[in-house]
Amino acid sequence: MMKLIHADIVYSEDREQLAVHPDSYIAVEKGKVKGIWPVIPEEYRNVPVTDHGNGVLIPAFSDLHVHAPQYLNRGLEMDLLLEDWLNKCTFPLEAKYADPGFAKLVYDAFVDDMLANGTMHACVYGTIHSEATSYLIERMDSAGIKGFVGKVNMDRSAPADLLEDAEESVRETEALLEKYSGNRNTKPILTPRFAPTCTGKLLNDLGKLGKKYGVGMQTHLVESLWEAEQARLLFPEYSCDTEIYEKSGLMDNGPVIGGHFIFPSEDDIRIMQKYDSYAVQCPDATVSVIAGIMQTGALLDRGMKIGLGSDISAGHHIGVYTQAARAVQLSKLKEFYEPEGNRKISFPEAFWMATKQSGDLFGGTGSLEPGSVFDALVIDGLSDAARELSPAQTVERFCYIGTKENIKARYINGKQI
Ligand SMILES: [Zn+2]
C-alpha cells in the first residue's frame, strides 16, 4: 500500500550537491520511494499522509566500520595508541564474548543504539566466537538492518583466549556462511581482523571460502604505521598490505571494505580501485587511537569509493552523522599540515559518503530519489528562536551538534519504527 509523507526533504544529488525539496510530499510504496512532489498529485489525493511539519527528511546513515563487541568500551582508554589499546583494552573485552549471555546483553544495546542514532546499514565486526556472532546477525536481521557481520578470524599474535587454529577458524566461518546464506537483511562477511593476526594459510583458506560462497571481506587496511610495518614484516613477499588480501583470493568474491586506509602506497590504491572496493574513513578513531588522517579529498578525486565508520570503540560516538562533521574538520587539518596533494572536503561530500556513496553495498539505500529503499529519518529541533534554518542548514547542524533526540521519526523498509 502506498503512503505519502510530508516534510522538507534533503538527500545527496551527487558527490558535491544536496538535493533539497522544501515543503514536499514523498510517496513510498512497497518499501521504496516512488516520487517527490511540491503538491500532492491528483491521482494520489486519497492516499494517507503522515505530516512531519517542518521536520527534515533525510536518508538513514551507513556505518561501514564498527565493532559491536567493543560497544562497552566507547569513550574509555582514549589516551592509548593502537597497539597498547588493542592489548590492554580491546582484546580483554573481546575474550568475554565466549559467554553468549554476555554477548546478548551487549549486542541488544548496540543494535538499539545504532537504530536510535539513525544507522540502518552497517558493516560490523563480531569476535572470534560463533555463537555470539550468530546472535548479532539474527538480532540485526530481525531489526531490518541491512548489513554485513563477520566472525573475526585470528590465528596469531593475539592473547591465548582469542586465538584459533587456522582449520578451526575456517570451519566455524564456513558454518556461519552456510547457516546465513540466502536473501536476508543482514549477511555474513569474511573478517580476517588484519594481516598481523592472520597467517598466510588462514588467509588463503578464507579466500577459498569467499570464492565458494561468493562472499566478500572486511578488514583493517594500512591502518597505522605500526600495522603496515607488521604486515610487511610478516608477509615480506608482498609489496603492500592490500596485496596480501588480493593474492589470498579475498578480493574478487564480493564487496571488499577496508577500514581506515590512512597510509596507502600507490599499490594499495591501485588494487583497491581494481576491485571497486570501499575504503572507510573513521575520523574519531583515527584521531584517538591511530593518530593519522586519511587523504580523503585526494582519494575522492581519484575516484576511490569512501564511506564513513564510527569504529566503536576506537571511535567513541555511534552516530555516523557526527563522523560526517569530523571528516570535514580532519580534511582541513590534512590540507593545513600537508598541503601538497590534499584538499579539504565540503559538507555535502561528507554527507554523501555517509549516505549515498555507501548505498550500493546495501541494495540501493542512502538516497531518497525514486527507486531508493526507503530507510529514512526525520530530524528537527535544531533552529534558533531568532533564526529559522534552511533544510540544508538543519542537516549540517545536526551532524555537528545534533543528538539522537533530534531524530523525531525513523523509517526502515518503508515502515515507521
Ligand atoms: Zn576497527
1 or 326, which is more confident?
326
Residues 242, 289, single domain; the answer is yes
Residues 65, 47, single domain; the answer is no
Closest listed residue to residue 202, CA positions, set 174, 233, 161: 174
Residues 255, 201, single domain; the answer is yes
pLDDT in tens, 175-219: 999 999 888 999 999 999 999 899 999 999 999 999 999 999 999
Instruction: Provide the CATH number for the domain around residue 317.
Output: 3.20.20.140
Q: With bands split at pLDDT 50, 70 and 90, how would you rate the model's confidence at 321?
A: very high
Work out how many domains the chain is built from and give that number. Answer: 2
Residue with cell 583515527: 286
Q: Give me the pLDDT at residue 228, please.
A: 86
pLDDT in tens, 330-371: 999 999 999 999 999 999 999 999 999 999 899 999 999 999
Residues 357, 309, single domain; the answer is yes
C-alpha angle 268-357-1 in degrees, rounded to nearest 5: 145
Q: With bands split at pLDDT 50, 70 and 90, how would you rate the model's confidence at 34?
A: very high
Q: Give me the pLDDT at residue 337, please.
A: 96
Residues 390, 265, single domain; the answer is no
Q: Give me the pLDDT at residue 181, please.
A: 86
What is the distance in A from the centroid of ligand 1 to the CA of 243?
19
Instruction: Provide the CATH number for the domain around residue 20.
Output: 2.30.40.10
337 conformational bin, left if phi > 0, alpha if psi -120 to 50, beta if neither: alpha
Q: With bands split at pLDDT 50, 70 and 90, how would you rate the model's confidence at 221?
A: very high
Residues 243, 299, single domain; the answer is yes
Return the exposure string of 68-101: e unless at least 16 CB atoms fall within 10 Å of the residue's CB, then b: bbbbebbeeebebebeebbeebbbebbbbbeeee
Residues 212, 311, single domain; the answer is yes
Q: Give me the pLDDT at residue 1, please.
A: 87
3-state SS track over 334-391: HHHHCCCCCCCCCHHHHHHHHCHHHHHHHCCCCCCCCCCECCEEEECCCCECCECCCH
Q: Give me the pLDDT at residue 29, please.
A: 97
What is the distance in A from the centroid of ligand 1 to the CA of 311?
5
What is the distance in A from the centroid of ligand 1 to the CA of 338?
25
**Which of 362, 378, 397 is the C-terminal boundary of a domain?**
362
Residues 267, 317, single domain; the answer is yes
Residues 224, 198, single domain; the answer is yes
What is the distance in A from the centroid of ligand 1 to the CA of 69?
11
What is the distance in A from the centroid of ligand 1 to the CA of 136?
17
pLDDT in tens, 67-95: 999 999 999 999 999 889 999 999 999 99
Q: Give me the pLDDT at residue 336, please.
A: 97
Q: What is the pTM for the complete model shown?
A: 0.97
Residues 291, 175, single domain; the answer is yes
Residues 157, 290, single domain; the answer is yes
Taking residues 131-156, what's their average pLDDT? Answer: 97
What is the distance in A from the centroid of ligand 1 to the CA of 167?
24
What is the distance in A from the centroid of ligand 1 to the CA of 67?
6
Average pLDDT, the chain: 96
- Residue 148: domain span: 61-362
Q: Give me the pLDDT at residue 203, please.
A: 98
What is the distance in A from the centroid of ligand 1 to the CA of 90?
10
Taking residues 251-274, what's their average pLDDT? Answer: 97
Q: Give me the pLDDT at residue 82, please.
A: 87
pLDDT in tens, 281-294: 999 999 998 879 99
What is the distance in A from the centroid of ligand 1 to the CA of 182?
27
Residues 358, 265, single domain; the answer is yes
pLDDT at 238 over 90: yes
Sign of the alpha-carbon torsion through 341, 346, 352, 358: positive
What is the distance in A from the centroid of ligand 1 to the CA of 384?
37
Taking residues 113-123, what's their average pLDDT? Answer: 98
Q: Give me the pLDDT at residue 83, please.
A: 87
What is the spatial distance between Cα 347 and Cα 333, in angstroms, rounded to a whole number?
A: 15
Taking residues 262-275, what's their average pLDDT? Answer: 97
Amino acid at 290: I
Q: Give me the pLDDT at residue 290, please.
A: 83
